[in-house]
């Protein structure tokens, strides 16, 4: 088999359940990254099947359909919220007054360049400003302070790849996870910049991450309560829900999760105040 980095493959031993990209080949050991989920895995070369082009197209269509469904759900929620606020303003203010809104600053740090690109495209589609940075998971503790100081975000996402291995320990043991410890340390350092959970809102984790440790470290939202895989775009929907919830309202955790592709088995979090702020009057620049 002529295996090369970047190829899409599946594993015979797991009945071809997940599509991976070949990240690195070291002898017979192949490092794999999920194509649509934030999972990292190793496999021997003989366990891998190169995905035929017809299968690639079919799976891409299925994933695209799921992504569009989540996007439509979010847009429906956003439209309802917008109409509710506009109705309140019309009843409270003179009609000739126009409002403006303050953009929310998002810092998205990702351990996968392709996922980062996909996420940035979705942020832009949802009308959010984002500063996206690629950082390998193991380097997060060394990069986090400088990035926060530079961007001064109101929302921070720390994600990439992760995986739990039963052979390395119990689910309580952080040593049994590929990258959770790096996410935890990054969250802990970020939280030292702002101890207030409503002033710096943090999403952290990836597939199968140790949810409890991330929450204890100071994350508002994290993965993965049931140690299941999460979709590459799930962090963006969590961020968008917080960014478009009025700051006088709490973000209902279930409302956040229902528009993600993974749901409550893969994501969880705490009540958090929204960040959507409007002001008046709007002055047109001439």
What is the number of alpha carbons within 13 Å of residue 144 lying toward its C-beta? Answer: 24
Query: Residue 92: what pLDDT?
Result: 67
Residue 155: C-alpha distances to residues 3, 60, 107, 152, 236 (Å): 40, 30, 6, 9, 11
Query: Residue 46: what pLDDT?
Result: 92
What does the pLDDT profile of the chain (286 residues) look like in tens digits?
688 898 999 999 998 888 999 999 998 899 999 988 889 999 999 999 998 888 888 888 888 887 888 788 777 877 777 766 666 656 666 666 677 778 899 999 999 999 999 999 999 988 899 999 999 999 999 999 999 999 999 999 999 999 999 999 999 999 999 999 999 999 999 999 999 999 999 999 999 999 999 999 999 999 999 999 988 888 998 999 999 998 888 988 888 887 788 888 999 999 999 998 877 776 777 6
Q: Do the beta carbons of residue 208 and residue 238 sit within 8 Å? A: no
Query: Residue 286: what pLDDT?
Result: 63
What pTM did the predictor assign?
0.86
Measure the CA–CA gap between 263 and 269, rounded to whole angstroms. 12
One-character DSSP codes across 181-206: HHHHHHHHHHHHH---TTTSEEEE--
Task: Please state the φ and ψ torsions of residue 90, each to the nearest 5 degrees.
Answer: -65, -35
Residues 6+ apart with CB under 8 A from 266: 207, 223, 224, 225, 226, 228, 229, 230, 231, 234, 260
Helix (H) or strand (E) holding 157: strand 155-159
Query: Residue 282: what pLDDT?
Result: 66
Query: Residue 77: what pLDDT?
Result: 76
Tokens 């009308």 identify what position? 127
Measure the CA–CA gap between 168 and 224, rounded to whole angstroms. 18
Query: Residue 109: what pLDDT?
Result: 98
């Amino acid at each position: 088999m002529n295996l090369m980095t970047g190829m899409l493959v599946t594993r015979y031993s797991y009945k071809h359940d997940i599509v991976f990209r070949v990240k690195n080949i070291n002898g017979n050991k192949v490092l794999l990254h999920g194509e649509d989920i934030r999972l990292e895995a190793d496999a021997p070369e003989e366990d891998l099947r190169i995905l035929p082009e017809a299968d690639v197209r079919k799976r891409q269509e299925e994933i695209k359909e799921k992504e569009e469904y989540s996007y439509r759900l979010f847009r429906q929620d956003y439209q309802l919220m917008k109409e509710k606020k506009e109705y309140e303003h019309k009843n409270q203010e003179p009609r000739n007054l126009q409002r403006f809104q303050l953009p929310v600053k998002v810092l998205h740090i990702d351990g996968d360049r392709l996922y980062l690109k996909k996420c940035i495209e979705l942020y832009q589609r949802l009308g959010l400003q984002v500063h996206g940075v690629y950082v390998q998971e193991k380097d997060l503790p060394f990069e986090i302070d400088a990035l926060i100081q530079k961007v001064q975000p109101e929302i921070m996402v720390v994600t990439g790849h992760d995986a739990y291995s039963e052979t390395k320990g119990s689910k309580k043991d952080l040593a049994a996870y590929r990258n959770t410890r790096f996410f935890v340390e990054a969250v802990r350092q970020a939280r030292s910049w702002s101890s207030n959970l409503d002033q710096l809102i943090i999403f952290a984790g990836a597939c199968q991450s140790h949810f409890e440790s991330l929450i204890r470290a100071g994350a508002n939202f994290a993965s993965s309560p049931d140690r299941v895989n999460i979709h590459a775009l799930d962090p963006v929907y969590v961020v968008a829900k917080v960014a478009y919830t009025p700051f006088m309202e709490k973000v209902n955790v279930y409302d956040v999760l229902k528009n993600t592709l993974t749901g409550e088995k893969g994501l969880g979090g705490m009540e958090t105040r929204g960040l959507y702020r409007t002001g008046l009057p709007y002055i047109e620049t001439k």
